[in-house]
Amino acid sequence: MTSNYNPSLWELEKRILGGDALTTAELSIAAEALHRGSIDDKLLASQALLRSNDPPAVVAAVSTVRNLCQAALAAATPGHMNLIGVLQLIPPENFRSDPVFRDFTLLAAGFADRDIRANATLVLARLARAGDRDALAKLNAATSDSDPLVRQNARFSLSRLSG
């Protein structure tokens, strides 16, 4: 399987996950990918920037992810397979206050791709925790999904809500 990701973005992501802070130059590389990279690069750069704890970088990444969600909503498609997973990194204050993230998550929960549905259950829990009844209903419905991974993620997400 080939990847469309820029290898330098993978390195940035690995550094952040390893606990390293990004330099100004590295933040610039990721920020540049938000504007000129492929969708793969935009998502990977968004992940790195959202984990960076650099406020301007986080704002730029949230904006990029929002635009990708908005485009997916307009087309009524899941967009990129990893888009729903990136929503787990959106800061709570941005996630709860923006209906685009909510609407995309609710839409993704019904897509045919089981991996997207499975990841959507994890993001639905964020909405349900904030009192979103539609998200809670979709999460409960996912416990009866035809796919075992989706059911497992839904049960896990619900257990986290009650625990």
Looking at the domain assignment, is residue 10 inside a domain? yes
What is the DSSP-derived secondary structure letter of residue 56?
H
Q: Which tokens in the block code for residue 110?
A: 């019904």
8 Å CB contact between 84 and 118: no
The range of the structural domain enclosing residue 50 comes to: 1-83
pLDDT in tens, 72-97: 999 988 778 889 999 999 999 999 89
Read off the pTM. Answer: 0.88
pLDDT in tens, 6-45: 778 888 888 888 888 888 898 999 999 999 878 888 998 9
Distant-in-sequence, close-in-space partners of 54: CB < 8 Å, separation ≥ 6: 22, 27
In percent, how much of the chain has pLDDT > 70?
Answer: 96
Looking at the domain assignment, is residue 75 inside a domain? yes
Looking at the domain assignment, is residue 127 inside a domain? no
State the Cα–Cα distance between residues 51 and 74, nearest whole angstrom.
Answer: 28
Looking at the domain assignment, is residue 100 inside a domain? no
Q: Has residue 132 got a pLDDT over 90?
A: yes
